[in-house]
Structure 1
Amino acid sequence: MKTYALKLKQNIPVSLDTAWEFFSSPLNLAKITPPEVNFVVTSDYNDAARVYPGMIITYKVSPLFGIKLNWMTEITHVQDHQYFVDEQRFGPYALWHHQHHFKEIPGGVEMTDLLHYAIPYGIIGRLSNKVLVGKQIKKIFDYRVKAVETIFGRFEG
């Protein structure tokens, strides 16, 4: 099974408290995901919910061709105001390990996403990543950059 990695950094012109408050809420993920993915949190959380180790989050997504999929992740690690990790427990990937890191910098926060993922089905999975899945994941993260800028403004530091 081949594992792929994606690392993205974005500077955000807000305090660490503001960034953590937004990104540690499972419900806010839908706000930074492209509409065509049809991302819906199906877990029964309210706006006050924040990530904690052991938290299970369920979703419905349509990442490719409008096909609806169920997805479940677990928050496995949390260091308040520094990082949290979500790992797929059920869903379309053979492996999904996503680290979200936050660091205070002059003028705001540096947010780093470290994603490791793998696709099932051997050579077919590797081919589908090259042709389709890898590009779709990159497109989703590119959308997030723009959505975060829309919500918080552009970092000028």
Structure 2
Amino acid sequence: MKLYQLHSKQSFPISTSEAWTFLSDPNNLKVITPEHMGFKILSGDDRPMFPGQIIQYTVSPFPGYTTKWVTEITHVKEGEYFVDEQRFGPYALWHHKHFIKPVNGGAEMEDIIDYKIPFGILGQLAHPLLVKKQLKQIFSFREQKLIERFGVLENIKKELYFNSF
């Protein structure tokens, strides 16, 4: 089973505190997720983020298919990073690290997602055609929503790339 990695960086003219407040609130996931994904939080969004927090969602990654997704917040360093890991959902593995750090004129938000696709060779074949394409679309949507909300830092290049191991 192949391990894939998505790496994204984006910088905004806001403080790290403002970036943290937005990104660490599970309710804002709906704001930065495309509407066609049918994203809905079922539970776990009723208190500030903490290690051990379980958040349950439903999501429709493909038309006609809705699945439950359960994640656990496994690590939190207030104002700097947090990690969510899938406990149940559409991936064989989902480990998502969110980092926030100060940069000249604002804050940089970095995502590193290590993930595996289920279904063995069929999943590997589906990755470039469906999964990778959809993740690119989701992160492009997220980028636009964050720009609309916070603006853009000039002369800062955004990054989005995939690796496989």
| TM-score interval, smaller chain | over 0.9
Opposite residue 122 of structure 1, the aligned amino acid is: G
Q: What does residue range 1-157 of structure 1 map to in structure 2 within 5 Å?
A: 1-46=1-46, 49-156=47-154
Local SS of the residue matching 1:63: strand
| Structure 1 residue 104, shift from structure 2 partner | 0.7
Provide the C-alpha distance between the structure 2 equivalents of 1:31 and 1:80, rounded to a whole number of angstroms.
Answer: 22
Q: Provide the TM-score with structure 2 as the length reference.
A: 0.90
- Tell me the number of residue pairs that the alignment of Structure 1 and Structure 2 aligns: 155
Q: Which of 1 and 2 has higher RCO (CA within 8 Å, sep 6+)?
A: 2
How far apart, in 2, do the equivalents of 1:134 and 1:45 lie? 28
Determine if contact 2:83/2:98 at 8 Å carries over to the other structure: yes
More deviation, 84-93/65-74: 65-74
Distance 1:45 1:54 in 2: 13
Give distance in 2, aligned partners of 1:108 and 1:83: 16
Structure 2 counterpart of 1:144, which letter?
A: R
Segments ≥4 residues shifted beyond 4 Å: none
Check conservation: 2:25, 2:45, Cα contact below 8 A. Answer: no
Shift in Å, 1:131: 1.3
**Residue deviations 1:15-60, cap 9 Å, x none?**
11111011000111110001110111111534xx322100000001
Unaligned runs of 5+ in 2: 156-165
Would you say the 8 A contact 2:85–2:96 is kept in 1? yes
Once superposed, what is the RMSD of the aligned Cα atoms? 1.1
Q: Judging changes above 3 Å, is the alpha-carbon distance between structure 1 residues 67 and 77 closer, same or farther for their aligned structure 2 residues?
A: same
Letter in 2 for 1:83: Y
TM-score by length of 1: 0.95
SS at match of 2:36: helix
Partner letter of residue 51 of structure 1?
M
* Equivalent position SS for 2:30: helix
Structure with the larger strand share: 2
The answer to whether the 8 A contact 2:36-2:60 is kept is yes
Deviation at 1:155, TM superposition (A): 1.9
**Displacement of 1:139:** 0.8
